[in-house]
Amino acid sequence: MAVNKLADLQLHNKRVLIRADLNVPLDGTKITNDLRIRASLPTIEFALERGAGVFLVSHLGRPKLGSNNDHLSLEPVAERLRTLLNRPVELIRDWQSGLDIDAGEIKLLENIRFHSGETENDRDLSRSLASLCDIYVNDAFGTAHRAHASTHGVANYVTDACAGLLLESEIDALERALANPKRPLVAVLGGSKISGKLEVLHNLKRVADTLLVGGGMANTFLLAAGKNVGKSLVESELIDDAKVIRRSAQLPLPVDVMTSETIDLRSHAFLRLADEIPSHEAIVDIGPETARRYAKTIADAGTVIWNGPMGIFEYPQFAEGTRAVADAIANTVAFTLAGGGDTVAAIEQFDISERIDYISTGGGAFLEFIEGKPLPGVEALKSDA
């Protein structure tokens, strides 16, 4: 995908506005995970080292208009940036009347979603953001699927708009996995429902050599194949879709599963054949034989895309299927690409991040790219736009 790139632009003495994804989890005013901040550092440092003055813009949470949103201030983010960058980072609350900045300075605009025009892609807000800069940089892949003022609208009012280093690496990794993958391409998909990933499944069945499914979405495929799934979470209204996908894809079903009568820390997991699930039990994980078969397919892959766990991995007794698949993905020689909140949580839980080739910072954007949908935040940066 031909997008304008930060490295191709002259940054010295330029005002650079970087749309970063600094939407970090907070416990009060304490950041509990600063992964997104650290992922944004290379682009910020690149611009500063080349003599730019940097304005940072990001959202945090979902502020409610007319409410007291002090708990969603970016001040904790500014403080963390000061530590990581070892330089002053000023948080600016009133910036719409214009701001000055010197080369080597960095200023963080207060939560952009405090402005109602952000999610509405308002022209006036877009122009106000554009007036701050000579160069606009989108480095927020996690919000690139939203046509908001800071991710899309602002690009219409600047001379130079480009992708930051993080966004560029996200696009490169996704295109490597989807546009010209080393074969076989294996897609590992889990999570609770098919409905949220229906278009992902339809697109991947056209490009992937094998689809491996787990989690709640596998239950609907089992039900569509005539299996009794007991009390398991299913989407009966999508049985026809599940049948269509299976007819046109290599999609092996789980042959064994783990079940439970209840779902809590004290619950016991039972190993069942997929044909012998009691009516009073629910599927909570893939079984060991299914995990072995999935691991063999992954080991033989040339490219692996992973989105979603194989079971309710937050509970130790229901985590072994996800652990086995995660280990297989970590150990394969294939190019591995993982994305999505639960997937990243599983990667952290099983401590395999160093063995995954690329971990996407996007959730919805990651899925929409796989669906084949254009991402507004990326489209605005195309070199032919």
Query: Would strands 30-31 and 26-27 be described as parallel, antiparallel, or unpaired?
Result: antiparallel
> What backbone torsions phi and psi does residue 122 show, to the nearest 5 degrees?
-65, 135
Q: Active site residue: 193, 231, 293, 355, which one?
A: 193
Query: Would strands 106-109 and 53-57 be described as parallel, antiparallel, or unpaired?
Result: parallel
Average pLDDT, the chain: 95
Asked if 107 and 55 touch (Cβ cutoff 8 Å), the reply is yes
What is the reported pTM? 0.92
333-364 pLDDT, tens digit per residue, is: 999 999 998 999 999 999 999 999 999 988 88
109-148 pLDDT, tens digit per residue, is: 999 999 989 999 999 999 999 999 999 999 999 999 999 9
Query: Which residue from 210, 212, 383, 207 is spatially nearest to 310, judged by alpha carbons?
Result: 212
At residue 384, the pLDDT reads: 59
The yes-or-no verdict on residue 233 having pLDDT over 80 is: yes
At residue 1, the pLDDT reads: 65
> Per-residue pLDDT averaged across 310-317, rounded?
96
Asked if 217 and 194 touch (Cβ cutoff 8 Å), the reply is yes
362 labelled catalytic: no
Q: Active site residue: 61, 302, 364, 372, which one?
A: 364
385: pLDDT confidence band, cut at 50, 70 and 90? very low
282-298 pLDDT, tens digit per residue, is: 999 999 999 999 999 99
At residue 341, the pLDDT reads: 87
Q: Active site residue: 272, 341, 372, 382, which one?
A: 341
Q: Is 181 helix (H, G, I), strand (E, B) or coil?
A: coil
65: pLDDT confidence band, cut at 50, 70 and 90? confident
At residue 13, the pLDDT reads: 97
364 labelled catalytic: yes
Q: Active site residue: 14, 36, 107, 205, which one?
A: 36
164-196 pLDDT, tens digit per residue, is: 999 999 999 999 999 989 999 999 999 888 888
At residue 251, the pLDDT reads: 97
36 labelled catalytic: yes
296 labelled catalytic: no
Beta bridge partners of 57: 19
